Copies of this chain bind each other. A is one copy, B any other.
Amino acid sequence: MPFEFAPGKPVAKPFNKFKEETLVEATTQIATQVTELSYALDTFYFLVMGALVMWMAAGFTMLEAGLVRAKNTAEILTKNVGLYSIACIMYMLCGYTIMYPGDFGGGIFESLSTIGTGLLSSSDNSAADVIASGGETYYSNLSDFFFQVVFVATAMSIVSGAVAERMKLWSFFAFSIVLTGFIYPVQGFWKWGGGFLETAGFLDFAGSGVVHLCGGAAALAGVLVLGARKGKYGKNGQVNAIPGSNLPMAALGTLVLWLGWFGFNGGSQLKVSDVSEANSVAMIFVNTNMAAAGGLIAALLLARFWFGKADLTMALNGALAGLVAITAEPLTPEPLTATLIGAIGGLLVVLSIVGLDKLKIDDPVGAISVHGVVGIWGVLAVCITNPDAIFLVQLQGIASIFAWVFLTSLLVWIVLKKTIGIRVSKQEEYEGVDTHECGLEAYPEFTPAR
């Protein structure tokens, strides 16, 4: 119900019998309405940004489906839609509570006692609370949960690509449960939940470290335990290219991620409802876009001069690298600087993809390079434009996140390997995991009979 005042004839009426008290009451009512409207705009903005991040799930799904072989495509699709669902459920059940214990009245250990009930028992802000908060409370708690939950899924999506084409489906899902319900939230708490990295002054605006390095570290641990795909590395050290089966899908996935990243970075400002905040969100949009463009062009040029060809998959990974690189600080750079930060990310990702292959670390989609290596670059690049950044603290953040995620992931992967196993049989790998795991083929009419 908007305020009852209105201009012109009908409005002037109450003021015919105007008294001081009436005006006070009117002003108070308007102030209330403005505060509520402001809350509504910030919540709506948060939800729209969150929807864009959810859309990134489609981006990862298409990217990975395009970069694996046809015989493993249905399974990577299943992994992607499955991990998104698992991430949402686990983060609802316990992840959110672990990551933001303060919202549930205590430290991380106190919050553990509310696992499974924390979010559910909390109710959203009342209008009275919003107004009484004097600006401290300015969006719906549930919109925050929505935004956060799609972030967790992003982190987990990074892993599926790196372990593609040879990992057992249900072992992967088992790992997803642990990462999204426990490993990610703990390090998320360190920074965004008010933990020791936040206290130390670690800067990571939208998560080059907390999300992307986290995903990259978990992926690296998985690949090390899992080993390379059969035939990827020859006996004499040669690296055999295993081309993706559907590059339009991969390009689509990259463009979906590019679009979704406006929500990922833009939403991390958390507020849009005044001039300064709106300007910040606009700057973040511009810088996010420019960094991706810079990354794409840099990777394409490097590939052209190094390999002699305009390698499309490198260009796509270059764009994603640009996006990861700017994620830790999309606000303080000027657009030209953002372009350069992205371009360096684009160069790094090409070097890293080639380098990991030299180390026989087999990552079919380049996820460890894009999210892990360039995630580190992103965290360090904060120091270039943000005067509040402390280089050693940024290093501390990288080391803490990597160590925690890599070691706990390694433990989980090893336990899974020793128990239910994580790698499909040689025959399954040869024939493709689709028929064995999913009982169907992604393109039953297109692929040659094997």
Contacts and interface: CB of A to CB of B under 8 A. Distances in A.
A46 to B, nearest CB: 8
B315 A81 contact: yes
Interface in A33-59: 33-41, 43-48, 50-52, 54-55, 57-58
A285 B41 contact: no
Looking at chain A's contact residues, the main secondary structure is helix
Contact of A45 (B8, B44, B251): B44
A126 to B, nearest CB: 7
20 contacts: A2-B135, A3-B34, A4-B31, A5-B31, A6-B132, A23-B23, A33-B34, A39-B278, A40-B278, A73-B248, A85-B294, A88-B289, A127-B276, A142-B283, A146-B285, A243-B444, A244-B444, A246-B443, A443-B446, A446-B447
B88 A438 contact: no
A315 B15 CA distance: 61
A175 B294 CA distance: 18
A308 B169 CA distance: 13
B143 A285 contact: yes
Given A92-B290, A440-B243, A43 B312 contact: no
Interface stretch (A117-125, A202-210, A351-359): A117-125
Interface string A3-43: 11111101110010010100110111111111111111101
Contacts of A139: 278
Given A61-B255, A81-B255, A138 B290 contact: no
Copies of this protein in the complex? 3
A220 interface: no
A140 interface: yes
A282 B255 CA distance: 27
Interface string A150-182: 000000000000000000011000000000000
A274 interface: yes
Nearest to A335: B92
Given A62-B248, A255-B57, A278-B40, A85 B297 contact: yes
Contact of A44 (B15, B41, B92): B41
Interface stretch (A105-113, A256-264, A386-394, A409-417): A256-264
A27 B69 CA distance: 65
Contact of A65 (B81, B146, B251, B310): B251
Given A31-B3, A274-B36, A85 B319 contact: yes
Interface in A66-113: 66, 69-70, 73-75, 77-78, 80-82, 84-86, 88-89, 92-93
Contacts of A58: 252, 255-256, 259
B89 A339 contact: yes
Given A47-B262, A247-B440, 15 more contacts: A2-B34, A15-B28, A34-B34, A39-B274, A44-B278, A54-B258, A73-B248, A74-B247, A80-B251, A89-B293, A92-B335, A125-B279, A127-B275, A127-B276, A311-B438
A82 B169 contact: no
Contacts of A134: 1-2, 4, 6
